[in-house]
Amino acid sequence: MIDDLTQLLDGLAAVLTPMNLLLALIGVTVGTAVGVLPGIGSAMTVALLLPLTYGLEPVQAFIMFAGIFYGGMYGGSTTSILLNTPGESSSVVTAIEGNKMARAGRAAQALATAAIGSFVAGLIGTTLLVLITPLMVAFAIDLGAPDYLAIMVLGFIAVSAVLGPSRVRGFAALLLGLVIGLIGIDKVTGQQRLTLDLPQLADGIDVIVVAVGIFAVGETLWVAAHLRRRSTEVIPVGQPWLGREDWRRSWKPWLRGTALGFPFGVMPAGGAEIPTFLSYTLEKKLSRRPEEFGKGAIEGVAGPEAANNASAAGTLVPMLALGLPTNATAAVMLAAFQTYGIQPGPLLLERESALVWTLIASLFVGNLMLLVLNLPLAPVWAKLLRIPRPYLYAGIVFFASMGAYAVNAQPFDLFLLLTLGLLGFAMRRFGLPVLPLIVGVILGPIAERQARMALQLSGGELSGLLGGALSYLIYAVVVLILVWPLLRRVLPRGARSEHTVG
């Protein structure tokens, strides 16, 4: 523990240099500005701004990237409160009460409790990240190829079967991602796979091009297809502040939301949707003024927003320790690591300890910067919402194209970007979730490598895919997830109702 804290302090010293502080400030400012824009969630923000980190040293890139990551989340609450337009599903609950508060003339208080709640949750969540990540690494470093493969399979099943309204659509999106991940030269046999004899595809499709195409271009095409002609109404914002009564009603929901959000972020089937809804329900039950819920209760903004940000901090634990993304933003962050030839996982803390601890330290610094930026500059961010939608999304397509071209400086990548953008549009049209596709692209090749390694060690015996007790436990959980809908049908109604109540 002492050694970890020493390395964290070394990382903090690396962040607190003038150049790195400037990069952190640029990251949080640009991340917030883009995150504020309607319809853009933190995952799309990170994917869109990834090319900004090209040309930087890895440590500098991830300092800036950490600011973009947290800034995108902060910006999403502004859109939810002022426009009732959540950038992603985890911000839906914030919009329920936040927009009601704004329409009642309390937009400043709603933005203030969201900003301060995000800061509190981010501070506590990042502290827990410091404490838990080394423990998970110590556990994971002894895992063999079969155990690691089992974890990957659990990740595939969790994002496909648990998250989203339809398992069939989830698995369909996962299959698309796995197919895209297979494109290129087989690392073992040297044979080309799914390249259509195009030399540009021999090295596969860069994950950044996939992320920007699916998120940015796909979302832009979807919004353009449903673009409303009338201008969007933006509620005016005063200077964000909280009175004594607002502080009294907010601080407990901040802490409860953090306690709910972080564990869900760590879990493979986590995400922020469940803890934000749980936080909202809990605050409604505990409130002395339950009649205000649905009309603009400040607790309904404070708790869910804290849960959302704590969950985001929690997602970094499995990403850094296991190389396992549990939401779309973490998946794009994993792609950023791979861009620099760095593979998150059990050995990351050993091989790239300075980078990891500097990244974590920059989360503390970026979180503080965001609080300082968001409170006084909230009226400025609100003015960004007045940008006409056609100009806004034309700009997004322009920057997405520039970013995709910057990856390899090949015009062919622009055709790939458009093709993937059309795929992203089609997925939204038919209700296919985006996260399983991104996870399939990133984890598919890793899972294939672990499976081949396990088979090589066992001499080609299929039993080699099963390791020790851990892999058996994980596969048992996978089977339970898959058969649970059938079990629910055969369970007596009384048992099901008791389970629901519990």
Transcribe 146-203 into DSSP letters.
Answer: HHHHHHHHHHHHIIIIISSS-HHHHHHHHHHHHHHHH-EE-TTT--EES-TT-GGGTT
Nearest to 299 by CA among 93, 125, 71, 91: 93
Q: Phi, psi (5° rounding) for residue 444?
A: -55, -55
Q: Phi, psi (5° rounding) for residue 229?
A: -75, -35
Give yes or no for a contact between 328 and 435, defined as CB atoms under 8 angstroms apart. Answer: yes
Token pair 């994993």 is found at 334
Mean of the per-residue pLDDT values of the chain: 80
Give yes or no for a contact between 457 and 464, defined as CB atoms under 8 angstroms apart. Answer: yes
CA distances to 24, 433, 436 from 443, rounded to whole Å, are: 29, 17, 10
Three-class secondary structure assignment of 274-290:
HHHHHHHHHHHHHCCCH
Q: Phi, psi (5° rounding) for residue 173?
A: -65, -40
CA quadruple 136, 139, 141, 145: dihedral, nearest 10 = -110
Residue 342, class by beta-carbon neighbours within 10 Å (0-12 exposed, 13-18 middle, 19+ buried)?
A: middle
Token pair 């939608």 is found at 389
468, two tokens? 């020790």
Q: Which H or E run contains 231?
A: none
Per residue of the chain (502 residues), what is the pLDDT tens digit?
Answer: 677 788 888 888 989 999 999 989 988 888 888 777 766 666 777 777 777 777 788 888 888 888 888 887 777 788 778 776 665 666 777 877 888 888 887 888 888 888 888 899 989 999 998 888 888 777 777 677 788 788 788 878 877 776 556 788 888 888 998 999 888 888 777 788 888 888 888 888 877 788 778 877 887 788 777 765 444 555 656 666 777 888 888 888 999 999 988 887 787 655 666 688 778 888 888 888 877 787 778 888 888 889 888 888 888 888 888 877 777 777 778 878 877 888 777 778 778 888 888 988 999 998 899 888 877 777 777 777 677 777 777 877 887 787 677 667 788 888 888 899 899 899 888 888 877 887 788 778 878 888 888 888 777 777 777 877 778 888 888 888 888 777 777 766 544 444 444 4
Backbone conformation region of residue 294, classed left if phi is above 0, alpha if psi is from -120 to 50, else beta: left
Nearest to 212 by CA among 52, 51, 400, 34: 400
Letter for the amino acid at 383?
K
Give the integer Cα–Cα distance in Å for 106 and 101. 5
Give the integer Cα–Cα distance in Å for 361 and 32. 19
Residues 436-447 as b/e (b if ≥16 CB within 10 A, e otherwise) read: bbbbbbbbbbbb
pLDDT digits (tens, 9 = 90+) for 68-97: 888 877 777 887 787 766 656 667 778 778
The verdict on pTM exceeding 0.85 is no
Q: Which H or E run contains 223?
A: helix 218-225
Residue 234, class by beta-carbon neighbours within 10 Å (0-12 exposed, 13-18 middle, 19+ buried)?
A: middle
Give the integer Cα–Cα distance in Å for 170 and 435. 9
Give the integer Cα–Cα distance in Å for 4 and 24. 23
CA quadruple 482, 488, 489, 491: dihedral, nearest 10 = 130
